[in-house]
Amino acid sequence: MTSVLNISCYKFVPLPDAEQLRDQLHAQAVAAGLKGTILLAEEGINFFLAGTAEAVRSFVDSMRADARFADLAPKESWSETVPFRKMLVKVKREIIRMDHPTIRPAHGRAPAVEPATLRRWLEQGHDDAGREVVTLDTRNAFEVDAGTFTNAVDWRIAKFTEFPEALRAHKAELQDKTVVSFCTGGIRCEKAAILMQEEGLEHVYQLEGGILKYFEHTDGAHYEGGCFVFDERSVLAPDLSAPAPAPADRAQE
C-alpha cells in the first residue's frame, strides 16, 4: 500500500532570514512527524519531505501563510515507506550550487515550457516556429545514466558547478536551435536556462517542473529509463513508482 506522500519543491525568493527560518521549519516539520531535507539560502528554498498525506499537506499549508511561499506547488509521488532517515534543515550559500553569483532567478527567470508542450514538440520534431528542438540534460552523469530524454545532450558533468564551463565549450552546437534545459524537479535547469541566455543563446526554455512534472502530466513519451531521485527510492519510473535501485553515488552538486 502506497500510503506515504513524498513531495519535492523549490522556490527562488530572497530569504535574508534563512537562519531564523531554519529553526522554525525544523520544529514544525518534526512536530508533524515528517522526514526529509529542507535547504535554505539567501536565494530561496528547496525541500524534499515525506510523511502521511495529511501531515505533509498541512505543513505546506502552514508554509504558505508566509507570503513568500504562498504559491508553493510541490510535486507529489507515493511510496510504501518513508524514504528518508531523519529530518534535516540546513542553511547553505546556494540552494543548488552553481558558483555563478550573477545568476539570480528571483530577479527574473528564463521562459519555461510546459510538459505537454515539450511532448508535442518532441513528437512533431520541431517547435511551433519550425526550429529543431534540443533537450539539454543539466544533471550529473550518474543521474543521466538512470534515464533521460531520447537523444538528449549530455555533457557528462560530475557536478553542477561544471555546467558553466561545459556550456561555453559547447555553446556553438546549440546556436539557432530551441534548447530546453531539464533536470529532476526544475531547480538546476532554471539556473542553467538563465546562464544560457546570458551567454547569448536566443531560443532557450526550461522544462517547467523538470522530469518529475513531465512524468506527472504526460505519458512519459520520448523519455528512456527512469529519473534518479535523492532519497532511498533511488529511481522513479514514468508512472512515479520506484522500480529499481540506482548508482550508489548521491552527490547532488
Let me know the angle formed at the C-alpha of 164 by 160 and 165, rounded to the nearest 5 degrees: 105
Distance CA(81)–CA(68), nearest Å, equals 31
**Which residues make Cβ contacts (< 8 Å) with residue 5, sequence separation at least 6?**
50, 51, 52, 53, 56, 57, 76, 78
DSSP state of 76: E
Cell numbers placing 106: 528571483
Distance CA(74)–CA(36), nearest Å, equals 14
204 touches 179 (CB < 8 A):
yes
Exposure string over 206-215, b if 16+ CB within 10 A, otherwise e: bbbbbbbbbb
In which residue are the cell numbers 518532441 written?
A: 122
Q: Is 189 a catalytic residue?
A: no
Give burial (CB, 10 Å; 0-12/13-18/19+) of 100.
Answer: middle
DSSP state of 14: -
Other beta carbons within 10 Å of 25 = 20
Distance CA(39)–CA(115), nearest Å, equals 26
Active site residues: 183
